[in-house]
Amino acid sequence: MTGNAKKLETVAVERKRGSGVKYVYDVLRDEILDLTLPPGSPIDEIQLSERLKMSRTPIREALVRLASEGLVSTLPNRSTIVSNIDFLNLHTFFDALTLMYRVTTRLAAENHVAADLIAIKAHQAAFSKAVAAQDALAMIATNRDLHAAIAEAGRNPYYTGLFCRLLDEGRRLLRIYYQSYDDRLPHEYVEEHNQMIAAIEARDIDLCDRLGQQHADQIVAQIQKMISRDRRRPIAL
């Protein structure tokens, strides 16, 4: 085999390997975000290898990526589980999330340029389409992209980085939020995004602050309501 042929074969192997890692990552991420794999669930590499018809190498690489996003955790005995949601400290997460909704929307009103609005509106169109299709995973992804684009328009990379981290960490909570509506998100909440975008475009900083606060408040209230719902069933003894 010539040198060029060996290089081409190596590239092909790397592409196939990379595709395998992405496939495993996509499958596991979707199952974790959709709560098909609940928090605390063990992840068995051997069973995954058999189910996905993959070697354990791409599975391990996918797990490393998921761990970097906080979706899986490695225990001291080297076993892997789906990361738990820290309900005890949820109030601190909600505090930070609310602040970032307010700050990033305010700064977007102050600092955006025309290209930012084009990107923001495109993400909102994708979100609206996902809502109409009742596709929860698409709603989570497009909602994240929309708010990340708003943060980018604010021109503060530190706020953008923090907000994206919070949005990523909160994806399973957002799944609970959509689940509370049976994935039929009321149109009024889609309209909340439109109102925020209109306020950004008008450079109305105070209105952006109020809308960011209101947007966070209704999401937090609905998640809290879902978590604390009384699911007991009366049993005659």
Residue-wise pLDDT for 17-62, tens only, equals: 568 999 999 999 999 999 999 999 999 999 999 999 999 999 999 9
Indicate whether this model's pTM tops 0.95.
no
CATH topology of domain 89-228: Four Helix Bundle (Hemerythrin (Met), subunit A) (1.20.120)
CATH number of 19-82: 1.10.10.10
Q: Which of 66, 79, 44 is nearest to 52 (CA)?
A: 44
Q: Which two tokens stand for residue 106?
A: 């305010």
Q: What is the pLDDT of residue 17?
A: 53
Give start-end residues of each CATH 1.20.120.530 domain in the chain. 89-228
Cβ neighbours, 10 Å, residue 199: 22
CB-based burial label for 201 (10 Å; 0-12, 13-18, 19+) = middle
Q: What is the CA radius of gyration of the chain?
A: 21
Q: What percent of the chain has pLDDT over 70?
A: 92
Amino acid at 139: M
Query: What is the structure's pLDDT at 229?
Result: 83
Give start-end residues of each CATH 1.10.10.10 domain in the chain.
19-82
Residue 2 has pLDDT above 60, yes or no: no
Q: What is the pLDDT of residues 81-113, one digit of tens each?
A: 999 999 999 999 999 999 999 999 999 999 999
| Residues 105-134 pLDDT 10s | 999 999 999 999 999 999 999 999 999 999
